[in-house]
Amino acid sequence: MPYDELERLGLDAATEAAVRKSFPRNTGMLVVTEVLPGSTSESVLQPGDILVRLNGRYVTQFEPLEDVLDGSVGKQVEVELERGGKAVSAKLPVGDLHAITPSAYAEFGDAVVNAMSYQQARHFNVPTRGVYVANPGYVFGAAGIPRGAVIMTINGSRTDTLQDFETGIALLADGERAPVRYITIDDPNNSELRAVRMDRLWFPARHCDRDDASGLWDCKHLAAGAQPKPVPVSSTAFPHFKEPLLNALAPSIAMVTFDMPYSVSGITERNYHGTGLIVDAQRGLVVVDRNTVPVAVGDVTVTFAGTVQVPGRVLYIHPQHNFAVVAYDPALIGTTPVKSARLTPRELFAGEPLWVVGLGGDSQMHARRTEIASIDPLELPLSRTMRFRDSNVETAQLVNPPLEFDGVLADKAGNVLGTWSSFAYESGRELSQDTRGVPIDLVADMLERVRNERPLHSLEAELGVLSLATAREIGLPQRWAQRLAQHAPTRRQALTVVRLVGGSAAAQRLQQGDLLLAIDGSVVTRFREVEKAAADKEHVQVTVWRGQSELTLEVATAELPGADVDRLVEWAGATLQAPHRAMSVQRGIAPVGVYVGYFSYGSPATRYGLYPGRRIVEVDGVATPDLDTFLKTVTGRPDRSSVRLKTITWNNAPEVITLKLDKHYWPAYELTHTMEGGWVRRALE
């Protein structure tokens, strides 16, 4: 600091003269600008103190100061200062900077934590203790604990060191929740409290120490933790509302939260919540939209009356529409008086009055009286990431619709006529969502198939709607126009083939632009008629108008599974899976190759450009049509060896990349869906 400012701080004139004489070329002296809280210097030094002598010698620059301190580690130095014109002297211990520099880290639940460093403590202006969140990952991210937070306690126990933290999580079983208190750099003087759900399933847990000789971080597995405890049985009662409709529906509505450990199937968001409709209280079945439970990979929680919270599991993902079924154990909610919703499948009409009932983000019941403005085909843009996108469905738009909650459409007696569902879609590079009403007929059909394990077949064609006048313009003859008009007098329309699912039988027999007239001899003019005609048949006779002629074609239907993802592989930091159906539906791509769902930052996949959305079709010239072939080809290769990968994008543009393996930091493992509905993780090498 220059002498003129030092004089304002109170530097004694005699001291200044002596220092100027000793260092005639220097223009100032060293001043204390900050003192780390909790350090041994905190009670001695103050910001604004002017350093005069160190061990009896004048010190005015950083280099000689550092020389003295580096040579005095573990010892004491004598410090002479001036504070407001008064002399201050003290003996202070010199600590080892390496001792407060992290030399170990822990990773669990996709999170990475290390001991608080001296540099970070300076940023926070807090003592050098606590555990720093370098990456919140799945565990902390789901709890809302951000990157850069400092964990102060877990389960009420202090976490001054990394060892303290590891001791705390060692007591937690998989799925067990524990309160975590932390601070952030934005507000270091106030702490926050969150409940964290321990994960020992989705990700490996390791402790890694720096080895300066090898240049690596040596890693070992953390303790396996305690065995999961039985979930306690809890009961609650539903509140009484002034509106009878809310009293009728409250026992059939629950809040569902869903956390995704991995980005898969083009979906990168990790945390969801929404209103669930209890459709089978005896079996514990709840229906949600796929903007609440988008895939089968994740952790489900079901909350009743905002009070009782129990774990759930994904039972069924509708392959065609925006619905999923989750299940919970009814025994866990004790005497909570839940009821199965009264589903009333029937057609909805424009102008029909009804109620929208659901739960907001605060788990409070909401209701709004409204009416149906129109019934229209749902038209969503194609997804850039090839995430699920609903089609072939008519939805209800409402007058003055509620946008702050989702839920159900009901009549005044509490009969459920439809769902008020949130649809996620991509608009350019932005993720958007729209809320529409969906007739409950789709839910009733799905529920019946889940209960009876009855498969669902599909024609595998995305359809659009044309007016009969437009259909006539492209060649539809008068006789067919009359038949279609007679079939649906108030809906004078025809269906046309817009897209065909890649690799399906329909893609071989039908063509885009075909006018779909009948299935098995029955005239069809609406999406639901087509789905019902194909749902339980392995083959159908499809009558189309193509060009200037009528054709009747036999088309094999596709049996669609209710589990969109049943296996994941983590390899070289990339999340790999079989090509998902949405890719084939939207882009007409045959499900061949290994789909890259996502990558971990800093991994070989990131470094060498194995980007999400691509498919690996060859490894070192060997075709890899599926995951099994891929794993057979890459397993057993030595660490740091290179592989040559041929990848293709959604528009079949090829690219060849080379990737160097790093098995030390990015070991390969897989997750598989079990027959019991759970998931199992195992190492691949």
Strand partners, 312: 300, 328
Exposed, middle or buried, 461 (CB in 10 Å: 0-12/13-18/19+)? buried
Read off the amino acid at residue 148: G
DSSP state, 250?
A: G
Q: How far are the Cα atoms of 1, 36, 49, 61, 544 from residue 84, in angstroms, in the given order?
A: 15, 21, 8, 21, 95
Closest CA to 386 of 426, 423, 421, 422: 426
Closest CA to 562 of 410, 643, 645, 452: 452
Question: Which tens digit of pLDDT belongs to each residue from 159-191?
Answer: 999 999 999 999 999 999 999 999 998 888 899
pLDDT band at 434 (very low <50, low <70, confident <90, very high): very high
From CA 411, how far away is CA 399, in angstroms rounded?
16
pLDDT at 123: 84
Q: How far are the Cα atoms of 101, 571, 680 from residue 119, in angstroms, in the given order?
A: 8, 34, 40
Closest CA to 276 of 209, 325, 206, 339: 325
pLDDT at 188: 87
If you average pLDDT over residues 81-102, what whole number do you get? 90
Superfamily, domain 567-683: PDZ domain (2.30.42.10)
Question: Which tens digit of pLDDT belongs to each residue from 385-401?
Answer: 999 999 999 999 999 99
440: number of Cβ within 10 Å? 27
From CA 405, how far away is CA 259, in angstroms rounded?
19
Assigned CATH class of 110-138+146-198: mainly beta
Tokens of 383: 């997804």
* pTM of the entire predicted model: 0.90
CATH of 460-556, one of 3.10.20.600, 3.40.309.10, 2.30.42.10, 1.10.645.10: 2.30.42.10
Please indicate whether the domains covering 110-138+146-198 and 567-683 agree at the CATH topology level: yes
The radius of gyration of the chain from alpha carbons, rounded to an integer in Å, stands at 33
The residues, any chain, with a CB within 8 Å of residue 457's CB and separated by 6 or more, are: 534, 535, 536, 537, 538, 557, 558, 559, 560
Query: Where are the domains positioned within the chain?
Result: 3-95, 110-138+146-198, 244-333, 353-452, 460-556, 567-683
Does the 244-333 domain belong in CATH 3.30.565.10? no
From CA 98, how far away is CA 85, in angstroms rounded?
35
From CA 256, how far away is CA 267, in angstroms rounded?
19
Question: Which tens digit of pLDDT belongs to each residue from 605-615?
Answer: 999 999 999 99
Assigned CATH class of 3-95: mainly beta
Topology of domain 353-452, CATH: Thrombin, subunit H (2.40.10)
